[in-house]
Chains A and B, each alone.
Chain A
């Protein structure tokens, strides 16, 4: 339990926040200038006190004129030098404490699952679309944006990393139920 509390107090909470938009953009600054139509130049408004290096200019509503549908839809390229990874909590049924992993480090499901297997020293089994994970007592699941628990592997990787909030390796009868042709 102690371990959990320590994670809770982690100063890097921002990194685990789920946001739409490109990594590294500061969406909260959009909220600052959400007042429509203000003759003041947005630079006049106090730029956010940002702990990191020079804060980008406060973004103005509706500029540049791109529909938000487009802004939210771009898949970020390989993580080059943009800060913040996608850190999520990883729990395993029966393990005394959780882990934190950075999803951006992996390029696909096979890598992720191998890393998880190594972390907790167990075997996940073979994935198939029809039957989930066969050959083991475990099923990797994740909580998505809507709060639902989903089986890892069903959706495209890009979609997965933007919608995954936390990972949980389920064990035993619960796991078997999930695996069977739902």
Chain B
């Protein structure tokens, strides 16, 4: 690896090979034999300077300059990011960094979200919680993604960290409402509790009532994924005594009438998740409905709107007053048509982030393209997520978006049919694309106009979108698409491949061509052991490689493990299947300073 400063090459963000890389700057060869560089200034000066560094990449680079910089950087790093919880142990992390205030930790690989990983695979927060409790009594913030968090862990956070302020759980599981109850009760300084796309069990604990009485410091309360009834009266009182509350995302058990009562108490909200947006009463029509329009009009600073879990369309016009200010709108749980969308979207001139269901059809996307000139991120989810369902959106919608939304940076698009032409058009119209994820749901589906594979479309994306760092491919694809990616996708860090390629060459092109590749997930593609070997030069630079239902054998995986001692090579099989033959169902491998983990379940074999 070149040491050239001008290259984008950045040191691994979750791992340091200190012994290999930290240069020993020897000043004068004095007889003392002390290899430490005698700095012209005391460490304190450096400390004061380094305090200003926040970017983790900058800090990683700084720590490699020499031993004293390494030491001072370690003292001044207050936000610790660990991209793979198994890459480094809690003990090692706490030994190096003494003054951490915020921990950001990620566990399972993304394919676990789609039931592709047997449960109980790992990624337990518990050992981290205990280690942090000893080492960082002043810890304020914990941000976890795809970790297993138990009720006990929540109790630990609340009881052992007196100044704890912020908990964010994304795609986590393992806890329940009882854990939440203890957590909110004991955490007296809590400012942020964000539960996002996480699974919690309903132990029927009334956790909302457990927030302590008196004025609360709450700034953000997000619980739209918590699938259980909540005590509304307690919630209303909580909102009333939280003057700093800016973000509130309700779950679908909150009716629109209840939403109204909350909104009138919190017009200062900037982020609102509306809950069910439907009525629970079957009262007659004569009853007075609250003035929902007014409630929305009173929220002058509202910029981010979501929810609509069980939307009753009659109520939708209530949001008109806020549309002009919205920068983010999430309709991805609202099954609405183009006609129902148009009156809303036509007012959303400032919209930057839009999540929606394909029920709006190509026509709805055309309406988005006509108004939302500032759009940066679009996600179109399928109402009917099956391979053979009807596809209401197609290349027509994609093309329209590319023509109307020139500033687009990130797109996730589920569809049933696509053409190379539309993808090529997008690659030219949207040069700022950083994330391009196209999911043609029917496997191996060709360009439905020309009958050709989708290679050229994705090829154009990597060629024309010079800032692209994340790519997900689908449809009928040959090795050619990987050749394109290897040649042109020089900044690609995350690549997701499914049902693609013809031979080992496909994988080789990517492993040999993409120097920035960090996260690589592959399923059901014909790549074998030989292809795996072609990445030996690169695996230490990656966070992980996932390969499932490919053509790997145990012997092939063991070879890799032998060649690379700092790589943990996990072969995972379905929990209920016995070891039968040499074929590997799931390979999950990642660099690690710790060697094979000790908490692996029976169905995981570590080579």
Partner-B contacts on A (CB < 8 A): 22, 25, 34-39, 56-57, 59-71, 73-77, 108-110, 127-129, 153-159
Closest partner residue, chain B, to A26 (CB atom): B386
B549–A155 contact, CB under 8 A? Answer: no
Of A38, A56, A156, A159, the most chain B CB neighbours within 10 A belong to A156
Asked if B36 is an interface residue, CB under 8 A from chain A, the answer is no
Distance in angstroms between the alpha carbons of A128 and B282 in the assembled complex: 8
Q: Does B211 contact A (CB under 8 A)?
A: no
Given contacts A35-B574, A36-B586, A158-B278, contact A63 B225 (CB under 8 A): no
* Residue pair B385, A66 in contact (C-beta under 8 Å): yes
B114 touching A67 by the CB < 8 A rule?
A: yes
Chain A: minimal CB distance from B309 (Å): 7
A155 to B335, CA, bound (A): 20
- The interface-forming segment of B8-16, B264-272, B319-327, B376-384 is B376-384
Would you give the shortest CB distance from B498 to chain A, in whole angstroms? 7
Tell me if A64 and B414 are in contact (CB < 8 A): yes
B551 touches A68 (CB 8 A): no
Q: Is the CB of A156 within 8 A of B310?
A: yes
Contact indicator B113/A64 (Cβ below 8 Å): no
Instruction: Give the residue of B116, B333, B387, B551 whose beta carbon is less than 8 angstroms from that of A74.
Output: B333
Q: Report the 7 A-B pairs with minimum CB-CB distance, sorted nearest first.
A: A37-B585, A62-B114, A109-B282, A37-B549, A62-B116, A36-B574, A66-B385
CB B587 to nearest CB in A, in angstroms, measures: 9
Chain B: residues with Cβ within 8 Å of the partner, total of 49
Which residues of chain B from 355 to 411 have any CB-CB distance to chain A below 8 Å in the complex? 357, 359, 381-388
Q: A127 to B197, alpha carbons, bound, how many Å?
A: 35
Complex: A77 Cα to B392 Cα, angstroms: 14
Q: A36-B573, A129-B281 are in contact. Are A64 and B310 (CB under 8 A)?
A: no
Alpha-carbon gap, A158 to B523, bound state (A):
36
Tell me the minimal C-beta distance from A54 to chain B in angstroms.
10
The answer to whether A67 and B197 touch (CB under 8 A), given A37-B549, A62-B116, is yes
Interface of B is mostly: loop
Q: Are the C-beta atoms of B115 and A156 separated by less than 8 Å?
A: no
Residues of B within 8 A of A74 (CB): 333, 335, 357, 383
Decide if B498 touches A66 in the complex (CB within 8 Å): no
Known contacts A63-B387, A68-B115, A153-B282; 4 further A-B pairs (Cβ under 8 A): A63-B114, A70-B381, A74-B357, A154-B280
Flag whether B63 is at the interface (Cβ < 8 A): no
Among B252, B387, B549, contact of A39 (Cβ-Cβ < 8 Å): B549
- For chain B, residues 327 to 366, give those with C-beta under 8 angstroms from any C-beta of chain A: 332-333, 335, 357, 359
Q: How far is the CB of B577 from chain A (nearest CB, A)?
A: 7
Asked if A73 and B333 sit within 8 Å, CB to CB, the answer is: yes
- Say yes or no: is B505 at the interface (Cβ < 8 Å to chain A): no
B255 to A156, Cβ gap below 8 A?
A: yes
Instruction: Report yes or no: A73 in contact with B309, Cβ–Cβ below 8 A.
Output: yes
- Chain B residues with CB under 8 Å of A37's CB are 523, 548-549, 573-574, 584-586
